[in-house]
Amino acid sequence: MTRYAAFLRGVNLGKRTVKSAELKAAFEAMGLGNVKTLLASGNVLFDAKANKTLKGKTEAGLKEAFGFEVGTVLRSVDELATMVAADPFKRQEGDDAKLHVMLFDAPVPASLQARSVPGDFDIVDVAGREIFITFYRKPDGTYSGNSAFDLEKRLPNGTLVTSRNWNTILKAIA
């Protein structure tokens, strides 16, 4: 058995609200083991046998349970641990910086031009199926980063990506 993290795109945004207990029940109904939700933003940890149909199985099960499509990006907990061990941010986080990772279902498209915007965000690294981003505090105390998420608008149609705070990744492997 392999321990997985499912990062769900667009859950608990607007009218697409799914309670953690319902999400856990949906994954258990799919026959997945040791299911645990993480935070309230569409993160689920579970055990399953590794196979090529796991992603399709989870997406079909979620559509059946909730009545709408839910894009799912899967990573094994071992893959997440390897990502964390690589320390892409070089321990930058502090009061003036927040760390995020864009998780792609497939390799980051070569056509994507990922560029930093000074004073807003830095693209720290683009590696395989992830883009690592540091957002900076603005003078008014907020973290914008909206221009970083504009990267999604430049992706080819059908590209599945979801973003998470780095702390979510750390909690997933804890």
Which of 13-22, 65-74, 95-104 is the most confident on average? 65-74
Give the pLDDT band of residue 41 (cuts 50, 70, 90): confident
How far apart are alpha carbons 23 and 9 in whole angstroms? 13
Q: Name which of 48, 33, 132 is nearest 88 in CA terms.
A: 132
* pLDDT for the residue 146: 65
Pick the CATH number of 2-79 from 3.40.50.2300, 3.40.50.10490, 3.40.50.11540, 3.30.70.1280: 3.30.70.1280
Q: Name which of 61, 59, 60, 30 is nearest 46 in CA terms.
A: 30
Mapping DSSP to helix (H, G, I), strand (E, B) and coil, where does residue 158 land? coil
CA-based radius of gyration for the chain = 16
pLDDT in tens, 78-125: 999 999 999 888 866 566 788 899 999 999 988 787 778 777 888 888
pLDDT higher than 80, residue 1:
yes
Q: Would you list the domain boundaries of the chain?
A: 2-79, 86-165
* pLDDT for the residue 123: 86
* pLDDT for the residue 65: 95
In contact, 112 and 155? CB cutoff 8 Å: yes
Which pTM does this prediction carry? 0.91
pLDDT in tens, 136-153: 877 787 777 666 667 777
* pLDDT for the residue 140: 80
Diameter of the chain measured on Cα atoms: 49
Compute the average pLDDT of residues 130-136. Answer: 89
